[in-house]
Amino acid sequence: MSTPQTLYEKIWNAHVVEQRDDGTCLIFIDRHLVHEVTSPQAFEGLRAAGRRVRRPDLTLAVPDHNLPTTARLDSHGQPIPIADPESAQQLEALERNAPEFGIKYIHASDAKQGIVHVVGPEQGFSLPGTTIVCGDSHTACHGGLGALAFGIGTSEVEHVLATQTLQLTRSKSMEVRVEGELRAGVSAKDVVLHITGVLGAAGGSGHVIEYTGSVIRALSVEGRLTISNMAIEHGARAGLVAPDDTTFAYIKGRPMAPSGADWDAAVAYWRTLATDPGATYDKVVSIDAADIAPSVTWGTSPEDVLPITGIVPDPSSFADPSKQEAARKSLEYMGLTPGTRMTDIEVQNIFIGSCTNSRIEDLRAAAEILKGRKKAANVKWAIVVPGSGLVKQQAEDEGLDRIFTDAGFEWREPGCSACLGMNPDKVPAGERCASTSNRNFVGRQGPGARTHLVSPAMAAAAAVAGKLTDVRAFAN
């Protein structure tokens, strides 16, 4: 019998084109997602070298990062020009580059448009057992389907466009096992925030993490995407969840997914991907579901996680001196005093969106809390940004948009929005935002913006309370 292998080893081994003596491998890339921000210089490089795109059929381009989330068409159905000339120029560059290099392009006003990491799974472009790359670190997201997916820089984007491969060295493997049953009010987002708190922002560094255990198995694909999305926030190269019947049911019938005989062959192959009994990981971390509460961040690193019932820590309580220093800086930036109860922190902004939490289940969870309620008067700005045009349509079909607007939220067009301070959606300096995105870095949501990462239900609850609050108090 052959040696037992982990899911990661199986995917890796299936993609080795060539191995060099030093162990570096040329790895074939099955899927390449392209967006407007990290691609212009790559296409420029191809043009300068007179190179073509090797596999345009395996490449999909969609704009998301820089696109404003306000209405894209006027009352006559004509495109509304983007006000910021630099953003407009970047979008035009992608609109030019995609046809020039023969790449499929989803237009900004197409209902299929959305955040790359929402569009890939939704279209059936992202599949189990594939290698997926994109010039965006949250590409790890697609690992929720059992794909080896990771973010790359622009030079690598150019490299993949030209060769459909990457030169990589094998990462170490880690198992993060979450066993037990999630407590009431605890969502996939809380699980991944908790994991990040346990591992630390660099805890997964050099590793590909496979998330296992009864909690992960019980999650929907959308929840698994949320978890794998933030693998990068605990430093991992990629996250993985072994594909199972839940995964196959999710993929079946999606537009770009295999069908007919191909489907049967694909499922048969996908079933072989699970980690073999007896296979070993370089590191194993076990987490008890009972320890996970609705969670929130207090600082400027995603590892700064607390249960919502917690208090702002005293920097001197950390053993590591450099962490003490970092905590002091974080608290200064965040305008927080040690000892403050998290539930006493007022928020002026609410952002429900990003590739972590903008799929239909996320919007349903937030709407569930907001139904029949209104945002507090001190909340000045509350927006919901669906992950794609199709998510938006479905939410409208279910009447969720009305629940949000009745509660005082703005209902926006799909895009990255306030996840990153790049397009017009920004949190004003010095103000706080309860945000369903993935990063609470200094300036991430705009210069001086203070971010508290939470789940969609927690963000909705914060909107109603006007401060960070325990969603469990809202249980109907």
Partner 1 sequence: MKAISRVEGRAYPVGLKNIDTDVIIPAVWLKTISRAGLGKGAFESLRAVPGNVFDDPEYAGAPILIAGDNFGCGSSREHAAWAMADLGISAVIAPSFSDIFSGNAFKNGLLAIVLPQAAIDRLMEVARTDEIHIDLETQTVTTPFQDRFEFEIDPFRKHCLINGVDEIGLTLKSSDAISVYEAKLSANRPWLAPNPV
Among the candidate windows 253-261, 265-273, 321-329, 412-420, which touches ligand SF4 by CB under 6 A? 412-420
Report how far residue 271's alpha carbon sits from residue 10's, in angstroms, rounded to the nearest whole number: 12
38 belongs to the binding site for ligand SF4 (CB under 6 A): no
Q: How many residues belong to the site for ligand SF4 (CB under 6 A)?
A: 14
Query: Footprint of ligand SF4 on residues 63-92 (CB under 6 A)?
Result: 64-65
Tokens of 143: 């690992």
Window 434-473: contact mask with ligand SF4 (x via CB under 6 A): ---xx-----------------------------------
Return the one option of ligand SF4, partner 1, none that residue 257 interacts with (CB less than 5 to 8 A, by type): partner 1
3 state SS of 179: strand
Q: How far is the CB of 424 from ligand SF4 (least distance, A)?
A: 14
Return the one option of ligand SF4, partner 1, none that residue 6 interacts with (CB less than 5 to 8 A, by type): none
Report how far residue 163's alpha carbon sits from residue 29's, in angstroms, rounded to the nearest whole number: 9
Among 219, 287, 419, 471, binds ligand SF4 (CB under 6 A): 419
Cα distances from 211 to residues 7, 130, 173, 222, 276, in angstroms, run 11, 17, 11, 14, 15
354 belongs to the binding site for ligand SF4 (CB under 6 A): yes
Tokens of 410: 């703005």
Return the one option of ligand SF4, partner 1, none that residue 352 interacts with (CB less than 5 to 8 A, by type): none
Q: Which residue type, as a one-letter code, is found at position 326?
A: A
Return the one option of ligand SF4, partner 1, none that residue 115 interacts with (CB less than 5 to 8 A, by type): ligand SF4
Return the one option of ligand SF4, partner 1, none that residue 355 interacts with (CB less than 5 to 8 A, by type): ligand SF4
Nearer to partner 1, 79 or 255 (CB): 255
Return the one option of partner 1, ligand SF4, none that residue 354 interacts with (CB less than 5 to 8 A, by type): ligand SF4
Going by C-beta distance under 8 Å and a sequence separation of 6 or more, which residues neighbour residue 368? 457, 460, 476
Query: Footprint of ligand SF4 on residues 102-161 (CB under 6 A)?
Result: 115-117, 136, 138
C-alpha closest to that of 396 among 407, 411, 381: 411
Going by C-beta distance under 8 Å and a sequence separation of 6 or more, which residues neighbour residue 443? 421, 449
Nearer to ligand SF4, 25 or 133 (CB): 133
Strand locations in 52-94 (E): 59-61
Report how far residue 242's alpha carbon sits from residue 281's, in angstroms, rounded to the nearest whole number: 14
Q: How many helices and strands in the chain, by DSSP H and E?
A: 15, 19
H helices present in 235-302, as ranges: 245-251, 260-270
Site residues (CB under 6 A) for ligand SF4?
64-65, 115-117, 136, 138, 354-355, 416, 419-420, 437-438
